[in-house]
Structure 1
Amino acid sequence: MRWSERLALGLYGGVMTALQPLLRRKLASRGRQEPGYLEAIEERFGRYAVEPSQGWLWVHAVSLGETRAAALWIDRLRERRPDIRILWTHGTATGRAEGRRHLRPGDVQVWLPWDAPGPVQRFLAHFRPRLGVLMETEVWPALVQGCRTAGVPLLLANARLNARSWRRAQRLRWLAGPAYAGLSGVLAQTAGDADRLRTLGAPVDPPAGGTMGNVKFDVPWHPGAWGLGRTWRAAWQAATAASDVPGGRPILMLASSREGEEAAWCDAWRAQAQTTRGAGTCPIRPLWLIVPRHPQRFDAVEALLRQAGLRVVRRSTLGPLDAAEPVWPPAAREADVLLGDSLGEMPWYYGLAQVALLGGSFAPLGGQNLIEAAACECPVVMGPHTFNFAEASEAAIAAGAAERVPDLANAVARALDWLADPPALARAQAGCQTLLQTHAGAAARCVDAVLRWWDLSAPAAAR
């Protein structure tokens, strides 16, 4: 490593060490909204209550989406190598909660340490992992340098780097360059991701890495949850059927919405309703299912919707989903909005909805993963901002599973158009299956690559 890179890492490490008291304050503040952030705080600083150990396959999945993506290939890896123990690390409360669902006997779950030399060194000394796998984008300078010093091979799996992040990394090349070059291998989602990562010095090309595709296309179909969603939809349509709506009220969804999008949706829906009434029509009033991306915003979103004059009922008031006979209470049957205030139920939500608007894509936030919607045969209307899932979004459009519009007003109108044209909606639903069938297989390729590195990292005496 050149002296300038050593100097950059030294300065970075000093700054991150000095910021540790601010991290404690941030966790305390965030924990007031999400208590999960108050769990095992000392782990953030490399101090762990579990006994020291070694020989782990360490997988870092920062948040909810990355954890679900990691589980797709880890489940396959366990089938081939049930002896491998997983050390899960996370950065967010939702990621840790999701990871807990995937723990198996012998696994351990902790927070990833703060990216400063001291916490990183304590983490690596405590667990002594045999191989580390970072999911998607989580490349941290002190962490990478610590792994190099400790002799821990470090892979970046399901790796993505959009053009915006690449430009930011180029501006910070003095710091980002050594971090990406310090990885042992990179398994990129697409050729575009591979090209951008390669310019930063990341080892993308075989035998170290390669272009593997997106493991999220291997999302398993959840027949139980999806089937429950369809059962609840049928019960809803029967409960809301009337002479002017013989098939019952339809259900549309704003999925994984981010701050600001719910207010924009309120404006768009109000304008749409006024337009149709002004044209002398009698629109079929859908039930809108709104599922905020972050659970700490559930109460604020409900307040916003009520202030807009909408009748709101929360998912949590419906009781268990697996009831023998789904019952929609009177308040729900008259509601304008069903607020999705639960975690881990997206297959049920997508099974319930007929069309979904993709949250995170109507503000410059990069969009959310639309592949789970496709797995549940729920077509998607997306906005202009899908740079976090650019290739997947274009593939969905090409397959006919999604359409792109400029804003939420057009998204609402397009969703209503699909409802009014059942043959077109059926073609979009078929496009969902085409999308998944065309792009499946990345999870198996990821397992092959991880196991190849696992065998290479075996102690010399065990080879």
Structure 2
Amino acid sequence: MSLTTNSEYGAKPRIWFAVYQLLWHLLLPLAFLRLVWRSRHAFSYLHHIPERLGFGYGKPITQGAIWVHAVSVGETRAAQPLIDAYLARGESILLTHMTLNGRRTGKQLFAKAIASGQMRQVYLPYDICWAVEHFLSTFRPKLGLFMETEAWPTVVFRCKEMDLPLFLVNARLSQRSARRVNQFGEAGRALFQAFAGILAQTEFDAQRYRSLGVTNVQIVGNLKFDVPLDINLVEQGKRWKEALHTGDRLMVCAASTRDGEEVVILQAWKDLLLNHAFQIPPLLCLVPRHPERFSEVAEQINNTGLKFRRRSEWPGIPNASPDLDIVLGDSMGEMPMYYSASDLVLMGGSLLPFGGHNLIEACSAGCPVLLGEHTYNFQQAALDAIAGGAAKRIKGELLLSEPIALMESLKELLLNTADLAKMSVSAKTYSIEHQGATNRILAALD
């Protein structure tokens, strides 16, 4: 790979790239140790190890495919409508991931295409020159599409050198991330300028990319609005909601919660139940974002003294008895069911500075959303949802030691079912009005 000697990039980017490669080689043993450590919870972390070095692909390779890189679960789901459109055109797809859960999600969503040979699914190798070189020379895709925020320097620069058009699709860039890129000066900006084009979600994102000197930027909207919900899971959720409403019971789904947030949520929920404001106490469905934390969160719930059951203990629709306070959503791929069963979603990742998670899927299921202050990963989506009456922010300052603001916000919404019903209609309207990114992206790429 010639970046370190290619004068096109300037001296500073070449120096940074040489240091970056040295660091990767030094840290490579730690990357494998991390996989071994994570395999304590799932042995699958040790599967396909050679792929992470650009080798071991086994069966014959279909070259000239459209290559889509979706790092993990969220990006893989977001890519679904775009991938489905290309599959319908008869294109071959190479789908790469960085995480085990992303790979599992892709295998589930595209099982038919994988089985037919129209799609190949592998890990993207670590961003080391020789690994990337072998990966690209093996598959030789005709077009590369990186989802959302991914920008691996070795891959990006090598694709440019090979004249392989690589686009950043459904792209988003927070203010904080833009500042970080600028800290690397010319080297950071050169990375994004090396993309063949950037198809941004919003004007906010487009402006930040332009501030880095990127000229080929288009605003296409957010692919997540086009992601279809699993009809069977939606129906399951509706039946669960029906059963709950028969007993005049409401349910709140705390979705995709992160480490540190569950403590706040559980304390607020306990305070809410002790408040005795409800004739029929509501039910909390707590769904941690990472499956390896299910047991840890179960222990946290146990320590509160609240009565709970795991979703995995029910083969069908959970039959939440009146004395049950919490359902722990310890399952993968069932978010459409949880959303469709709920009267309100408390969006994880927004209570603490994680940037928030996808509120669009909840709105697509017609479920109103309660947000914390940290939504920079979905800045425009959050602002639009609040403006459209589909979402609200927690009122007051959220404290870890005293989460009264969360408790009061939950109580206010749950006691006003007429407002919740209006928000539900607004949520559905909001999700429908923002669809269409898939066709705009296809048109731009064509």
Taking structure 2 as the reference length, what is the TM-score of the superposition? 0.91
The aligned counterpart of 2:357 is: 368
Shift of 1:268: 1.6
Contact 1:298/1:341, CA 8 A, preserved across alignment: yes
SS of the residue 1:361 aligns to: coil
Q: Of the candidates 351, 356, 374, which is equivalent to residue 345 of structure 2?
A: 356
SS of the residue 1:19 aligns to: helix
The answer as to 2:317 corresponding to 1:310 is: no
Contact 1:256/1:291, CA 8 A, preserved across alignment: yes
Shift of 1:153: 1.0
Instruction: Find the aligned partners of 1:142 and 1:375 in 2 and give their Cα distance.
Output: 37
Shift of 1:333: 4.4
How many residues align structurally?
A: 426
The aligned counterpart of 2:125 is: 113
Instruction: Find the aligned partners of 2:407 and 2:339 in 1 and give their Cα distance.
Output: 17
Q: Of the candidates 138, 144, 148, which is equivalent to residue 156 of structure 2?
A: 144
Q: Of the candidates 167, 183, 186, which is equivalent to residue 198 of structure 2?
A: 186
The answer as to 2:393 corresponding to 1:404 is: yes
Q: Of the candidates 318, 327, 345, which is equivalent to residue 338 of structure 1?
A: 327
Instruction: Find the aligned partners of 2:412 and 2:44 in 1 and give their Cα distance.
Output: 41
Instruction: Find the aligned partners of 1:34 and 1:333 in 2 and give their Cα distance.
Output: 35
Q: Partner letter of residue 304 of structure 2?
A: A
Contact 1:17/1:117, CA 8 A, preserved across alignment: no
The answer as to 2:398 corresponding to 1:386 is: no
Instruction: Find the aligned partners of 1:305 and 1:381 in 2 and give their Cα distance.
Output: 21
Long gaps (5+) in structure 1? 242-246, 322-326, 453-463
SS of the residue 1:186 aligns to: strand
Instruction: Find the aligned partners of 1:449 and 1:32 in 2 and give their Cα distance.
Output: 44
Contact 1:8/1:174, CA 8 A, preserved across alignment: no
The answer as to 2:69 corresponding to 1:60 is: yes
Contact 2:257/2:288, CA 8 A, preserved across alignment: yes
Contact 1:272/1:409, CA 8 A, preserved across alignment: no
Contact 2:287/2:330, CA 8 A, preserved across alignment: yes
SS of the residue 1:108 aligns to: strand
Over 3 Å counting, the alpha-carbon distance change for 1:136 and 1:290 in structure 2 is same
Q: Of the candidates 409, 426, 434, which is equivalent to residue 439 of structure 1?
A: 434
Instruction: Find the aligned partners of 2:45 and 2:209 in 1 and give their Cα distance.
Output: 32
1:239-278 equivalences in 2 (<5 Å): 241=247, 247=248, 249-274=249-274, 276-277=275-276
Shift of 1:421: 1.8
The answer as to 2:183 corresponding to 1:171 is: yes
Instruction: Find the aligned partners of 1:282 and 1:293 in 2 and give their Cα distance.
Output: 29
Contact 2:65/2:143, CA 8 A, preserved across alignment: yes
Mean alpha-carbon deviation: is it higher for 307-316 or for 296-305? 307-316
Long gaps (5+) in structure 2? 1-7
Q: Of the candidates 93, 98, 105, which is equivalent to residue 98 of structure 1?
A: 105
Q: Partner letter of residue 416 of structure 1?
A: K
Q: Of the candidates 215, 230, 235, which is equivalent to residue 238 of structure 2?
A: 230
Shift of 1:282: 5.4
The aligned counterpart of 2:315 is: 319
Runs of 4+ displaced beyond 6 Å? none
Q: Partner letter of residue 255 of structure 2?
A: A
Taking structure 1 as the reference length, what is the TM-score of the superposition? 0.88
Mean alpha-carbon deviation: is it higher for 401-410 or for 193-202? 401-410
The aligned counterpart of 1:197 is: 209
Shift of 1:386: 0.3
The answer as to 2:295 corresponding to 1:295 is: no
The aligned counterpart of 1:413 is: 408
SS of the residue 1:58 aligns to: strand
Deviations 1:154-179 (A, max 9, x none): 00000000001111111123432221
Q: Partner letter of residue 176 of structure 2?
A: R
1:209-220 equivalences in 2 (<5 Å): 210-220=218-228
Contact 1:154/1:184, CA 8 A, preserved across alignment: yes
Q: Of the candidates 68, 78, 86, which is equivalent to residue 69 of structure 1?
A: 78
Deviations 1:412-433 (A, max 9, x none): 3323322322221111011112
Instruction: Find the aligned partners of 1:285 and 1:175 in 2 and give their Cα distance.
Output: 56
Contact 1:357/1:411, CA 8 A, preserved across alignment: no
The aligned counterpart of 2:281 is: 285
Q: Partner letter of residue 443 of structure 1?
A: T
